[in-house]
Chain A
Amino acid sequence: MNPWPFVIGAYALTLIGTAGVTLWSWAAMRRAEAEAARLGERP
């Protein structure tokens, strides 16, 4: 059995999952902090 499709599949899943959760968390943080800063500037 050729192992490479399994190796590539495992690496792809890990990289997509890790990048996905990192970008999602980063975007949520940026959005929430921008909203907090905008409200903080209001009188």
Chain B
Amino acid sequence: MHVYANPARFLKIARPLTAWLGWAGAALIALALAAGLFFSPADQLQGESVRILYVHVPAAWLGMAGWSAILVASLMQLVWRHPLAAIAGRAAAVPGALFAALCLATGSLWGRPTWGTYWEWDGRMTSMLVLLFLYLGYIALAGAEKEKGGEGRLTAIFGLIGAANLPIIHYSVIWWNTLHQGQSISFVRGTSTIAGPMLWPLLVSALGFSLLFGAVVLMRMRAELARNKVEARLKRMAQ
């Protein structure tokens, strides 16, 4: 990872990768959502409302993956003092917060026709709402610390502490008797209770949104690196 500590070396790879991830992600999302809306079968119990699965699950996955990226970036910043780690953490926060919010909104829209309610204070939904609040706190703290010229150490510590919510979200459906359904896919065991015609659009959708998420993080990192360059140049010119 320290190979990419040099911003010039990082940008050399990030520039072509941004476009590649963005276009591949958009194409896969279009394919998956068309399949999810028009070609995948309706569920025996839930009927047509099951189609919300293809946007809700990728949003939930990316809401959690965004904070996992913040956790890794925070560790790299605090332990190895990687110069791009703070920038990467901040870059993942806004798209992560967006997907956490989308997970809650689409889950709510799925809940109304399925459970008869938009919201229930159960373990999964409440812990996901806590994740959204953690994102908002992280974004505010990162902005305030950067404005004061700090290195972002406090923000990184907040990123580590906030990661404690990730296992709570994951195990909430096991620990508590929740309205939310249990785990359908296990990557550890390689098993799924979802039928094949529903599973492939879901996996393609999750991959597409993940690639686009990566492109957005790279765009935000490139923007911050360019702004830092302008700031440093203006400081030198003022001296």
A interface, CB within 8 angstroms of B:
1, 3-4, 6-7, 9-11, 13-15, 17-18, 21-22, 25-26, 28-29, 31-33, 35-36, 39-40
Contact = CB atoms under 8 A, between A and B. Distances in A.
B165 interface: no
A32 B225 CA distance: 9
B52 A6 contact: yes
Interface residues of B, number: 39
Interface of B: 18, 22, 29, 33, 37, 47-49, 51-52, 55-56, 59, 94-95, 98, 101-102, 105-106, 109-110, 112-113, 209, 212, 215-216, 219-220, 222-224, 226-227, 229-230, 233-234
Contacts of A39: 229-230, 233-234
Contacts of A4: 48
Contacts of A7: 37, 48-49, 51-52, 109
A3 B48 contact: yes
A29 B49 contact: no
Given A3-B113, A6-B49, A13 B106 contact: yes
B56 A18 contact: no
* Complex A-B, nearest 6 residue pairs according to Cβ-Cβ distance, in ascending order: A32-B226, A3-B49, A25-B219, A14-B55, A36-B226, A29-B223
Nearest to B111: A6
B182 to A, nearest CB: 21
From B101, B216, B224, residue with most partner A Cβ within 10 Å: B216
A21 B22 CA distance: 12
Nearest to B216: A25
Contacts of A18: 29, 98, 102, 209, 212
A12 B33 CA distance: 11
A33 B109 contact: no
Nearest to A3: B49
Contacts of B47: 3
Contacts, number: 97
A6 B37 CA distance: 12
B219 A29 contact: yes
12 contacts: A6-B52, A6-B109, A6-B113, A13-B106, A18-B98, A18-B102, A22-B216, A29-B220, A29-B222, A29-B226, A32-B222, A35-B230
A15 B226 CA distance: 28
A25 B226 contact: no
A10 B113 contact: no
B102 A13 contact: yes
B224 to A, nearest CB: 8
Contact of B52 (A10, A29, A35, A40): A10
